[in-house]
Amino acid sequence: MNTPPPEQPSAEQVPLWLWRLAVAGFGLLLAGIIALALGLALGLADPRPVGRLAWFDEFEHSAAEWQRLAGNAPDFQPAALTVTAAAGGDVLLLTHTKTSDAFTFEVAGAQIAGVPGAGYGLVFGVADASHYTAVLINNNGFLTAYRQAGSTRTVYWAPQEWPHILLGNQANRVRVDVRNELAEVRINDEFFLAIPAVPGDIGLRVEHTAAAQTVRYDWARLWEP
């Protein structure tokens, strides 16, 4: 003899308090989704820079504001700065002064010619040509971060692939937010890592791996309190 399945409770049989709880829970979930969407639309998920925009440099008339500490002289062009290697192992180190130890510094650049693999990015905590912190990427998708202090190099991130780097001749943005002696590094707005920060200037660095590699910086910008 087959036993009939139990009857499902009708709406009239479900307690009123349970219905109210379910409706309230759905309402809270919907409100949360709307608040998240609104926050994203307003840019609340994006990291806020430290302070206000102090300058935005597209390099057209700014050669005198940058100091070359190492490497061949770059070419300051309208809306770009380019540097081409004469040989593998060539480097470029340009610096720019700032007024505060709390700041946001961001650059945009790409390798536009030559065999792949030139490292480019930014530096901060610069005292001279052998004392600086560098965050460099290349168009193969590799990323490295280190502190150079004379002959001693402290590697925070050994060169390895990182998924948020655009490949080929696509421009990437490298950014550092420095406050309370800590630097938060972002690539194309994606958080990378936090590393120690020391006082010093900011700047650009290129490390060529072969002759005829050309790196272009489209712009640099600085925020300070």
Which helix (H) or strand (E) element contains residue 16? helix 16-41
Identify whether 32 is part of a domain: yes
Identify whether 197 is part of a domain: yes
CA 59 from chain center: how many Å? 20
Say whether both 137 and 98 belong to one domain.
Answer: yes
Say whether both 133 and 152 belong to one domain.
Answer: yes
Say whether both 82 and 182 belong to one domain.
Answer: yes
Q: Which amino acid is at 161?
A: E
What confidence score (pLDDT) does residue 15 get?
67
CATH number at residue 128: 2.60.120.560
Does 1 have pLDDT greater than 80?
A: no
Say whether both 18 and 120 belong to one domain.
Answer: no
The model's pTM? 0.80
Identify whether 105 is part of a domain: yes
Give me the DSSP letters along 165-213: PPPTT--EEEEEEEETTEEEEEETTEEEEEEE--S-EEEEEEE-SSTT-
Say whether both 80 and 150 belong to one domain.
Answer: yes
Give me the DSSP letters along 27-68: HHHHHHHHHHHHHHHTTTTSPPPSSEEEEEE-SSS-GGG-EE
Say whether both 89 and 188 belong to one domain.
Answer: yes
Identify whether 3 is part of a domain: no
Say whether both 116 and 33 belong to one domain.
Answer: no
What confidence score (pLDDT) does residue 39 get?
43
Say whether both 21 and 109 belong to one domain.
Answer: no
Identify whether 80 is part of a domain: yes
- Of residues 199 and 11, more confidently modeled: 199
Q: Which amino acid is at 193?
A: L
Say whether both 170 and 150 belong to one domain.
Answer: yes
| 196-214 tens-digit pLDDT | 999 999 999 999 999 999 9
Identify whether 85 is part of a domain: yes
Identify whether 6 is part of a domain: no
What confidence score (pLDDT) does residue 85 get?
97
What confidence score (pLDDT) does residue 35 get?
44
**Tally of domains in the chain:** 2
| 152-201 tens-digit pLDDT | 999 999 999 999 999 999 999 999 999 999 999 999 999 999 999 999 99
Q: Which range marks the domain in which residue 179 is found? A: 52-224
| 38-97 tens-digit pLDDT | 444 443 456 799 999 999 999 988 899 999 999 989 999 888 999 999 999 999 999 999
What confidence score (pLDDT) does residue 127 get?
97
Identify whether 182 is part of a domain: yes
Say whether both 71 and 177 belong to one domain.
Answer: yes
Say whether both 79 and 25 belong to one domain.
Answer: no
Q: What angle do CA 93, 71, 81 make, to 5 degrees?
A: 65
Say whether both 64 and 25 belong to one domain.
Answer: no
